[in-house]
Amino acid sequence: MSATSNSDSWIGDPRLGSDLSNQAQPVLLPCSVPGYEYQLDPYIGCGHQCLYCYALCRQNGGWMNEVRSYTNLSGRLADQVSQLDPQPIYMGWHCDPYQPIEAQRCQTRESLQVLLDAGFSACILTKSDLVVRDIDLLSPMAEVSVGISLGFSDDSLRCLFELGTPPNSSRIAALRTLKEAGIVTYALICPIMPFLTDIPMLLKSLHGSVDSVWLYPISIQQEAGRNWQNIWGIINERYPDLTTNFRNAVFHSDHEYWQKQRTLMEELAKKSDVELLVNF
């Protein structure tokens, strides 16, 4: 499915939008991830264009087609970290730090340089293999970790739901490279799409590339949300036999699909040499 065949006509090639130029605005923000006091998002908006993205319900249409950045991000970050004790900073909770625009703009790389110079570390979460570009900055950090998320075991399925992400094989190769460089790695199997995400296949393909695997189901807050409307359109068009079961599983955590997956994960965990953290 191409971007233009989707009913969301606002989805297009993302461009770099206006800078967030209020120099008084902090760039490090409180982090809700356990174990991290602060998070950093070098960009606002995301060119990975995942049609299931949580942000589509909270933003006014521009999340995917206009990516915003901070004026003087590295200077503002340096000012903030100079007032803090060195600690790991979470990057990737709200917005992907290695989305396509980073290849030219390098806001994430510049931020990592500031963190490294100040004795801080980074915990990265991304969908992109571009993160391997910055191994030289990540490796020396004391408490560094990198996670890459994957939701699908085959790329034809991925391309239906993620219009701008790198192939799965590139992401898995990146995890392996990072692990070989001595960096703690983890995979997020997320979002698990009921009946579509082949969890055992993904676990098999990740073998030897990660220290742990976290598993999260697709999370949809409301049927009226733009992300659900995107997904529902694809399921109806491509998988009409799945519609009822898919919808029931998405909105009911006690659906037998999840019960079966839990049992399967318990069995796989006994044989796995990586930690499996199941969140469904």
Structure-derived torsion over alpha carbons of residues 51, 56, 61, 63, reported in degrees to the nearest 10: -80
131 DSSP β-pair partners: none
Is omega for the bond preceding 191 within 30 degrees of 0, making it cis? yes
Residues 218/52, Cβ–Cβ less than 8 Å: yes
Residues in the interface with ligand SF4 (CB under 6 A) total 9
Using CB under 6 A, which of 42, 70, 124, 127 touches ligand SF4?
Answer: 127
Q: How far is the CB of 53 from ligand SF4 (least distance, A)?
A: 3
Number of Cβ within 10 Å of residue 57's Cβ equals: 16
158 near ligand SF4 (CB under 6 A): no
Q: How far is the CB of 178 from ligand SF4 (least distance, A)?
A: 18
DSSP 145: E
Residue window 135-154: x/- pattern of binding to ligand SF4, with contact defined by CB under 6 A: --------------------
**Chain residues 63-122 in contact with ligand SF4, contact rule CB under 6 A:** 95-96
Burial, 194: exposed, middle or buried (Cβ in 10 Å; 0-12, 13-18, 19+)? buried
Residues 185/211, Cβ–Cβ less than 8 Å: yes
**Chain residues 14-73 in contact with ligand SF4, contact rule CB under 6 A:** 46, 48-50, 53, 55
Q: How far is the CB of 186 from ligand SF4 (least distance, A)?
A: 16
Q: Which is nearer to ligand SF4, 96 or 116 (CB)?
A: 96
Q: How far is the CB of 260 from ligand SF4 (least distance, A)?
A: 26
Binding residues for ligand SF4, rule: CB under 6 A, are 46, 48-50, 53, 55, 95-96, 127
